[in-house]
């Protein structure tokens, strides 16, 4: 079934409780699948979430002459030994943001790439100037014509690239282009997100020579070839954060497992500041609420290790139930507060000042109404809002949520959430009975 013809129906008011296992990181897996284009040999990639971005990417890789498929619930096999097509222009390419990585991978592997400008969630302009700057520094000639990026190089030779903006996408793309280049490439002012490190670890385990990922200077010594192997993707920091926030918002008691607690530090610190109980284990975090009221906090999004922009909508939703006025400042994307209208339709009291600052008057009671998922993470925020709202919330535009959350409703249902999926025109007046 097409997820844009479906809706999620949530009966709010249940405190989530129990244990939830987090899937592999979507943002890491999409980059690693594309990175496998550089490899002559078979890559077995484990802990891959079965979400629509991954399905799209598998299709794209197959369209380029590679071979990619799920060979287990969360295992994808990619073999690009015979990949020879450098043109990626299908509708699927335009649909997902991660197809921008095809530029670096195809350029690195075939010394040419023709890639349709990528889509993904729409929260303002998503430039690629830093990616192009990196490719040009390595010797590629780039031009953009009719929304297609053309890249070509006689040979790629390492150089120093200083990024003007801390960009996850540009950092990974330059790493991809540099892995098989001659000489040494240095990326200065690199992004430090966990998935940047994961992609570097993947490439290194296939024979690359990349040092410094996770710091702001990454050094890539080019190698002549990569070999196949097996690699396991890190847990999804954003999915974990979404469940942690949902647990806090519903005043529940949830242990989020299969995670790396260090990746969650900025969120854990903010939750603790609000009075939420945060208990850390080796590979899990328990979230519980045993105070009568949650305290207001101010949050600003920043590149890692700062508070992630991809948890901004979920966190803002939590702030609607805190006591007092909180300020949310979005520093990464220029227009990522558009979903706030939907929350206000549910009874929240949030004012957006400029495009990047939301003033959240807490202590409001949300009411279930039909709302739209405006993008992937805003969609997750609507789910959290539905879980705490009085009555029934219906969420449409599920194609966004399905891009990045594996088994979302099932995982929430296992925690006690009253949530189901219906065809858009189907009524669900009798929620408890339909679940």
Give the residue numbers annotated as catalytic, written as ranges. Answer: 121
CB of 69 to ligand UD1, least distance (A): 21
For ligand UD1, the closer CB: 180 or 191: 191
The answer to whether 187 contacts ligand UD1 (rule: CB under 6 A) is no
| Residue whose C-beta lies closest to ligand UD1 | 169
Give the integer Cα–Cα distance in Å for 254 and 271: 14
Collapsed DSSP state (helix, strand, coil) of residue 133: helix
Beta 6-11 vs 42-46: how paired, if at all?
unpaired
Q: Pick the binder of ligand UD1 from 49, 66, 169, 379 (CB under 6 A).
A: 169
Q: Pick the binder of ligand UD1 from 13, 127, 183, 354 (CB under 6 A).
A: 127
CB of 431 to ligand UD1, least distance (A): 32
Look at the block and give the residue holding tokens 């901004």.
312
Q: Pick the binder of ligand UD1 from 95, 97, 192, 270 (CB under 6 A).
A: 97
Q: Is 211 left (phi over 0), alpha (psi -120 to 50) or beta?
A: beta
The answer to whether 27 contacts ligand UD1 (rule: CB under 6 A) is yes
For ligand UD1, the closer CB: 193 or 409: 193
The answer to whether 130 contacts ligand UD1 (rule: CB under 6 A) is yes
Number of helices (H), then strands (E), in the chain: 15, 24
Q: Closest by alpha carbon to 164, among 189, 187, 185?
A: 189
Q: Per CB under 6 A, which region of 40-48, 71-79, 126-134, 389-397 contacts ligand UD1?
A: 126-134
The answer to whether 170 contacts ligand UD1 (rule: CB under 6 A) is yes
Alpha-carbon dihedral of residues 240, 243, 249, 254, nearest 10 degrees? -100
Q: Which CB contacts under 8 angstroms, 24+ apart, belong to 304-310?
A: 304/191, 304/192, 304/193, 304/194, 305/192, 305/265, 305/266, 306/266, 307/266, 307/267, 307/270, 308/237, 308/238, 308/241, 308/266, 308/267, 309/333, 309/336, 310/238, 310/241, 310/377
CB of 292 to ligand UD1, least distance (A): 34
Hey, which residues does 327 pair with through a beta bridge?
359
Q: Closest by alpha carbon to 281, among 307, 251, 258, 311?
A: 258
State which of positions 225-284 bind ligand UD1 (CB under 6 A).
Answer: none
For ligand UD1, the closer CB: 125 or 433: 125
The answer to whether 141 contacts ligand UD1 (rule: CB under 6 A) is no
Q: Pick the binder of ligand UD1 from 3, 52, 99, 167 (CB under 6 A).
A: 167
The Cα angle at residue 264 between residues 263 and 270, in degrees rounded to 5: 145
120 half-sphere exposure, CB direction, 13 A CA radius: 21
Size of the site for ligand UD1 (CB under 6 A): 20
The answer to whether 183 contacts ligand UD1 (rule: CB under 6 A) is no
The answer to whether 330 contacts ligand UD1 (rule: CB under 6 A) is no
The answer to whether 192 contacts ligand UD1 (rule: CB under 6 A) is no
Contact 32, 424 (CB under 8 A): no
For ligand UD1, the closer CB: 16 or 381: 381
Beta strand segments in 233-335, E? 253-257, 277-280, 284-288, 299-300, 325-329
Collapsed DSSP state (helix, strand, coil) of residue 11: strand
The Cα angle at residue 364 between residues 358 and 368, in degrees rounded to 5: 100
Binding mask 285-324 vs ligand UD1 (x if CB under 6 A, - otherwise)? ------------------------xx--------------
The answer to whether 30 contacts ligand UD1 (rule: CB under 6 A) is yes
Q: Per CB under 6 A, which region of 127-135, 267-275, 281-289, 420-428 contacts ligand UD1?
A: 127-135
For ligand UD1, the closer CB: 14 or 260: 260
Binding region for ligand UD1 (CB under 6 A): 27, 30, 97-98, 126-131, 165, 167-170, 191, 309-310, 332-333
């Amino acid at each position: 079934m097409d997820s844009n013809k479906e809706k999620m129906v949530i009966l709010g008011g249940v405190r989530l409780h129990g244990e939830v296992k987090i899937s592999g990181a979507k943002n890491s897996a999409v980059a690693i699948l594309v990175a496998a284009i550089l490899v002559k040999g078979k890559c077995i990639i484990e802990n891959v979430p079965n979400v629509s971005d991954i399905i799209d990417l598998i299709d794209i890789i197959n369209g380029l002459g590679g071979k990619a498929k799920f060979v287990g619930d969360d295992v994808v096999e990619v073999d690009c030994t015979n990949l020879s097509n450098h043109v990626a222009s299908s509708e699927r390419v335009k649909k997902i943001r991660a197809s921008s990585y095809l530029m670096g991978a195809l350029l690195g592997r075939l010394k040419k790439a023709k890639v349709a400008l990528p889509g993904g969630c729409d929260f303002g302009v998503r430039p690629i100037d830093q990616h192009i700057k990196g490719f040009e520094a390595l010797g590629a000639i780039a031009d953009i014509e009719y929304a297609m990026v053309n890249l070509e190089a006689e040979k790629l030779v390492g150089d120093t690239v200083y990024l003007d903006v801390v960009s996850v996408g540009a950092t990974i793309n330059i790493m991809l282009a540099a892995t098989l280049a001659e000489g040494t490439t240095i990326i200065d002012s690199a992004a430090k997100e966990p998935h940047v490190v994961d992609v570097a670890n993947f490439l290194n385990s296939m024979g690359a020579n990349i040092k410094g990922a996770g710091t702001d200077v990454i050094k890539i010594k080019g190698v002549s070839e990569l070999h196949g192997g097996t690699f396991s993707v890190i847990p999804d920091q954003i999915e974990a954060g979404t469940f942690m926030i949902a647990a806090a918002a519903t005043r529940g008691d949830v242990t989020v497992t299969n995670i790396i607690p260090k990746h969650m530090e900025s969120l854990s610190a903010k939750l603790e500041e609000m009075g939420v109980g945060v208990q850390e284990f080796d590979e899990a975090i328990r979230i519980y609420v045993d105070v009568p009221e949650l305290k207001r906090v101010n949050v600003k999004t920043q590149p890692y290790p700062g508070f992630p922009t991809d948890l901004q909508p979920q966190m803002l939703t939590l702030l609607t139930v805190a006591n007092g006025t909180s300020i949310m400042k979005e520093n990464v994307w220029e227009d990522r507060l558009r979903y706030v209208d939907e929350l206000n339709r549910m009874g929240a009291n949030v004012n957006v000042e400029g495009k990047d600052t939301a003033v959240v008057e807490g202590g409001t009671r949300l009411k279930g109404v039909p709302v739209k998922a405006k993008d992937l993470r805003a969609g997750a925020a609507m789910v959290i809002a539905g879980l705490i709202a009085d009555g029934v919330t219906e969420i449409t535009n599920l194609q966004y949520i399905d891009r990045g959350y594996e088994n979302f409703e099932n995982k929430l249902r296992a925690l006690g959430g009253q949530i189901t999926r219906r065809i858009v025109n189907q009524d669900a007046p009798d929620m408890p009975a339909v679940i």
